[in-house]
Amino acid sequence: MAGTLTEASSTKIFGGYQKVFKHESHHTDCTMTFAVYLPPQAEEDGAKLPVLYYLSGLTCTEQNVVTKSGFQRYAAEHGLIVVCPDTSPRGCGIEGEDDSWDFGTGAGFYVDATEEKWKKNYNMYSYVTEELPALVNSNFPVNMERTGITGHSMGGHGAIVCALKNPGLYQSVSAFSPICNPCDCPWGEKCFGNYLGSDKEAWKAYDACELLQEYNGPPLTLLVDQGKADNFLEGQLKPDNLVAAARKAGMPLIMRLQEGYDHSYYFIASFIGDHFHHHAKVLNEPA
């Protein structure tokens, strides 16, 4: 059941409104924050607009993409509602949740934890795919049949995983610098080991390279932009593994390696217009 939203802020930008809301989450058992951009088309009588979810990366909140990417210009142009959740539960009082930047607070990794210490709160996968859409669908003029998902780094991992694990829920998907094969990189090994336990077979349920081999849903074309000057390229992100997995699975993948770009929001801001066009081309096509 969808809960009650409290509006924390509202700012006009590109003819629409960038808003932030808080609510009590039953999936994470804490107060969660998320941002919603309502383009000017949302003011029209009877409007039912496509919705695009953006998942952020390690250490981020909903504010990083809202303030640094400039996406609102493209959302207004294409008439897309954009929803940006936080990256983890916060303030849960779990021992060790604030000890490191790449695990715990700010690092929910878009999984549902199974380890006893974390499973009450760290359920970002279900939050993003179930609770948050229910709230959005109940409170904003969205067309539930026109949904896309994108994200950056840990959020790029999350976006691809959510799309592959829920055939038909998202009609479009893209990612910036995703963690492509978390079962085989230090960030993934740390988070999966703590949230999901030592059984590495269980980790595969949240690994895009593994999930690609099992996908049996409506056609998807995955757009990925990756900076070639990204410090995390080889050790953590491993885009070549995703290319190989997509080729094996027969999944259409547009992998663009961008010369000179790093892992930052300067990179995202440079290409986010292309990603909005990618999503709008699918989400705005006639039914």
pLDDT band at 244 (very low <50, low <70, confident <90, very high): very high
Q: Of the residues 86, 112, 207, 230, which is catalytic?
A: 230
Q: Of the residues 27, 78, 157, 263, which is catalytic?
A: 263
Q: Of the residues 153, 172, 174, 177, which is catalytic?
A: 153
Tally of CB atoms within 10 A around 285: 10
Residue 88 among the catalytic residues: no
Residue 184 has pLDDT above 80, yes or no: yes
Residue 45 among the catalytic residues: no
pLDDT band at 286 (very low <50, low <70, confident <90, very high): confident
The span from the CA of 32 to the CA of 26, in Å, is 10
pLDDT tens, residue by residue, 112-146: 999 999 999 999 999 999 999 999 999 999 999 99
For strand 81-85 and strand 49-55, is the pairing parallel, antiparallel, or unpaired?
parallel
pLDDT tens, residue by residue, 33-77: 999 999 999 999 999 999 999 999 999 999 999 999 999 999 999
| β-strand partners of 223 | 174, 254
Domains annotated for the chain, with CATH where assigned, are 6-283 (3.40.50.1820)
Residue 2 has pLDDT above 80, yes or no: no
Residue 230 among the catalytic residues: yes
The span from the CA of 184 to the CA of 175, in Å, is 19
| Contact indicator for 7, 100 with CB cutoff of 8 Å | no
Q: What is the pLDDT of residue 287?
A: 59
Angle formed at CA 72 by CA 67 and CA 78, multiple of 5 degrees: 160
